[in-house]
Amino acid sequence: MSSILDYDFYAYPNICSGLKALDTIPRELLSFQASNPLILKYQKDPSRLERQLKAACCTSQIVLGPICRIPENLSKDDISTIVDTMKESSVDSIIAMGSGTIQSVAKLVNSLYCCDFALEEIESLPCDSFTPLPHIAVLDERIDGREATNRLLLDEYRLHHDSLYPEYIVIDERMMASGRDKESAASAIISLTQTCEAYRDYLLTPVIASWTKSSLHFLGEYQSMSTKQAKIALINAAVATQIAHSNIPPGPVTTISEMLAISGFCSEAQAMATLLPHFLSQLTFDKGSPLDESFDEIAMICSDVPWNDIQQMISELLKNYERYIHCSKTSGIITSLIRQTHRLMQHSNNTEIHTLITDLVSHTTSQTVMGGEL
Amino acid sequence: MRLPPFSQFCSRTRIISGEHALERLPGLLSSMSVKNPLLLTDKGLEAAGLLRLVIDHIEKGKLPAPLIFTDIPPDSDLQTVNEIAHLYREKGCDSIIALGGGSVIDTAKAVNIVVSCAEPDAQVLDLRDFSGADVITQRLLPLIVLPTTAGTGSEATIVAVIKDHENNRKMLFTSNFLQPTATILDPDLTLTLPPFLTAAVGMDALTHAIEAYTCLGKNPLSDGMSLQAIRMIIDNLEYSVAHPEDRSSRLALAIGANLAGQAFSNSMVGIIHTVGHTVGSICGVHHGLCMSILLPYGLEYNLHKIEKELKELSLYLCGEQKEAIGTIAAIRSLNDRLKKATAGRHVTRLHDVLDRDKRSAVRPDHLPIIAVEALGDGSHFYNPEQIDYDDILYLLNAAYWGYPLDRELIQKGHE
Ligand SMILES: [Fe+2]
């Protein structure tokens, strides 16, 4: 019988966080014997980021390679163009600046380039038989939950294999921008969801418990600190929980939310914020159960932050996020969630998902606000 | 908790853990496309049948038997490293499997430095060419570690220590690249460890976790590892000493030691290791035993700087939240219970440590020499309170005779 002491925990990326973290990139590139990195950045992001990266590299032998600016609505042609650019410049590494889509783009072009595959052939990618280029992920507060993992999601393209882990994660406050509060609130919901899913007792191996503990510590800091420091803490929380989460099968909240986001009904964070409380209400916090003990432990450790109760932390983060969604909009989201999840149920034999949805349906139908729409 | 202004967390080692995890070794070798590994171990483990066990697993996986080297001394040394490096090159090996404790693992790491970093056509392979800071700037060849003492955590760290007998010095290698590619934690590998050694190495692991949680280099990621490590060690150490054949607690201890290794490799240690390293090298006392004796004294010394942390740790060490002093008392009483369980072999004062001829290993006249030497040990830079010669001597005297430190004296000294 397998126990929580039986596990295979995949090696994860190195993490460098704090003041001048960007400046460690040249040293890291040299250690991979790389000197010609492809730079990926969002088109709409300020060009000061490129300048900062250049400044960090100016005293080393690194010459920044081609810079690809990723538009908001990325097309298949854009992907092919990036891969062509990589071939023309014979790049030997990738630096992706920013969180979210751009890291999935980095993982996708890395796989296509190293296997010499076209985008249409992605399904038959030989996942275990190629060595990817070193991928450095420079993260900001727009987390989608996949940055530090072995997964990518880009429109209809979804991949999941161990060659997709980035090599090095950089968290530097120079990457943070003001006015991204909505995005960071969503990031907190995504991280919290992944942490709670990783905390499910029967999957809680000791090494996963360590990473989720760290994530909760960081989320606590996110609540209690000034803005830039808070964002640094948030990204650290996201990375820690992603490392844990990428070593378990995704839980029901993540699975449903991802499907809903792919179908374009709502964002993943919106779906998670709606589903998470239902997921948590199903978990049994029996006195003395491993789950109860784990949460108790965190509550004790976090005694230096204003709240010392993990459930309160969860509701605070949810409230913080809900501030950004209009109430009527929330009902709309729940309605479409239920319609979609009903459809999903027919194709899924995951009992956890079934229970979650059944609970959600019975809860929502009992709410007068939803009555008419159902 | 405050966020450190800068932190780096490196733990690239894949961990395969479980009862029968060794069965995964052939698959792991194949997945790395490894064809000709060199297996390093020592004579003791060969005699204990562990080498046979590993070879059986490799053969069951239909892989060719690896090249084997068993002449590794208890203290990894330069000559052995260079000798193995030449053998590796001569036989065209492509990877290393290390089966053993701290010495075998450090030797394997050092051999990996030489064979990975030396020019392919180099005639002379010498580890000394690669000593110094930041000399290792590239990925090393595949190294799989099978730890046999749930304690040192070497299978998770970025450090290797090798003795250069000719120049009478210890060479220290530190690099993120020294972390092995993968490690397999299987209780079958630690089952033969006798109870008093299980206690000593377990206390070494506990010290790693506690020093990582209380030293200046701590960060939230290392904290997570430390807390989980402490929980696993405290829950399983005594049981494992009393029931050496129990696989489940053996495995839990191995995991705890591994997590503690990851923690201190990313945070560093403090005064307990500073003094313990020197007691070990001057008086030949087992590292784990040094740690278990010195742990309560080192924490007592730092108490005014780490009260908050020790209070947090009381949840793990006392089972409920108590004052910081409660954590130290819990460690003392754990040591006392381990002493009882090992028929007195797990001693709790330096005065009581015996050498092979049953004479005192540590004498009062050793203490001033240890205090001078210890100041040269780099780990004290991360200790939360400053340390000088008088402090170390005071701590050593207390640990020698077994009386608690006078807290007022320490605080006054640092005002
Ligand atoms: Fe140690």
Task: Determine the 3-state secondary structure of A69 from DSSP.
Answer: strand
Report pTM: 0.85
Does position B199 have pLDDT exceeding 50, yes or no? Answer: yes
A297/B contact by beta carbon, under 8 A: yes
HEC assignment per residue over B147-184: ECCCCCCHHHCCEEEEEECCCCEEEEEECHHHCCCEEE
Domains of chain A: 12-175 (3.40.50.1970), 182-371 (1.20.1090)
Q: Which two tokens stand for residue A1?
A: 């019988």
Asked whether A165 and A147 are in contact (CB, 8 A), the reply is: no
A19 contacts B6? CB cut-off 8 A: yes
Domain ranges of chain B: 14-189, 195-413
Q: Tell me whether residues A214 and B224 touch, CB distance under 8 A.
A: yes
Count the Cβ atoms, other than its own, within 10 Å of residue B90.
9
- Of A7, A16, A220, which is closest to B17 when you measure between CB atoms? A7
Banded model confidence at residue B297, pLDDT cuts 50, 70, 90: very high
d(CA B399, CA B297): 7
- CA of B9 relative to ligand 1 center, distance in Å: 19
The SS3 call for residue A356 is helix
Residue A302 has what pLDDT? 40
Q: How far is the CA of A353 from the centre of ligand 1 (A)?
A: 46
Higher pLDDT, B7 or B41: B41
B248 vs A5: CB contact, 8 Å cut-off?
A: yes
pLDDT at position B110 = 96
Percentage, residues of chain A above pLDDT 90:
24
CA distance A240 to A148: 9
Q: Residue B232's closest chain A neighbor by CA?
A: A206
Which residue among A2, A24, A217 sits closest to B224, beta carbon to beta carbon?
A: A217
Q: Which amino acid type is present at position A357?
A: I
Q: Say yes or no to pLDDT of A177 above 90.
A: no
Chain B interface disruption, residue of A12, A170, A199, A207, most B CBs within 10 A: A207
Q: Could you check whether B14-189 and B195-413 share the same CATH topology? A: no
With respect to CATH, is domain B14-189 assigned 3.40.50.1970? yes
Query: CA-to-CA distance for B225 and B223, rounded, in angstroms?
Result: 5
- Which of A39, A81, A99 is closest to A238 using CA atoms? A99
- Position A309 pLDDT exceeds 50: no
The whole-number pLDDT of residue A301 equals 43
The yes-or-no verdict on residue A260 having pLDDT over 80 is: no
Give chain B as a 3 state SS string: CCCCCEEEECCCCEEEECCCHHHHHHHHHHHCCCCCEEEECEHHHHHCCHHHHHHHHHHHCCCCCCEEECECCCCCEHHHHHHHHHHHHHCCCCEEEEEECHHHHHHHHHHHHHHHHCCCCCCCCCHHHHCCCCCCCCCCCCEEEEECCCCCCHHHCCEEEEEECCCCEEEEEECHHHCCCEEEECHHHCCCCCHHHHHHHHHHHHHHHHHHHHCCCCCHHHHHHHHHHHHHHHHHHHHHHHCCCCHHHHHHHHHHHHHHHHHHHCCCCCHHHHHHHHHHHHHCCCHHHHHHHHHHHHHHHHHHHCHHHHHHHHHHHCCCCCCHHHHHHHHHHHHHHHHHHCCCCCCCCHHHCECCCCCECCCCCHHHHHHHHHCCCHHHHHCCCCCCHHHHHHHHHHHHHCCCCCHHHHHHHCC
Q: For residue A15, what is the nearest residue in chain B, using CA coordinates? A: B9
What is the architecture, at CATH level 2, of domain B195-413? Answer: Up-down Bundle (1.20)
Which of the four pLDDT bands, split at 50, 70 and 90, describes residue B246? very high
CB–CB contact B220 A14 (8 Å): no
CB of A59 closer than 8 Å to CB of A27: no
Amino acid at A365: T
| Distance between B234 CA and the closest CA of chain A, angstroms | 14
Q: Are B16 and A30 within 8 A, CB to CB?
A: no
Lowest average pLDDT, out of A152-166, B98-112, B314-328, B353-367, goes to A152-166
Minimal Cβ distance to A5: which of B3, B18, B24: B18
How confident is the model at residue A370, as a pLDDT? 30
Average pLDDT over residues A207-221: 81
Would you call A211 an interface residue with chain B, using a CB distance cutoff of 8 Å? yes
Q: Does A18 sit within 8 Å of B6, measured CB to CB?
A: yes
Ligand 1 centroid to B286 CA: how many Å? 10
Q: Give the pLDDT confidence score for residue A140 in this predicted structure.
A: 93
Q: How confident is the model at residue B408 (pLDDT cuts 50, 70, 90)?
A: confident
User: In whole angstroms, how far apart are CA B291 and each of A236, B254, B269, B331, B359?
Assistant: 32, 18, 12, 12, 20
Spatial separation of the C-alpha atoms in residues B95 and A64, rounded to whole Å = 34
Report chain A's mean pLDDT, rounded to a whole number.
76
Average pLDDT over residues B2-9: 69
- The predicted-structure confidence for B66-91, as pLDDT tens digits, reads as follows 999 999 998 889 999 999 999 999 99
- Are residues A6 and B7, on separate chains, in Cβ contact within 8 Å? no
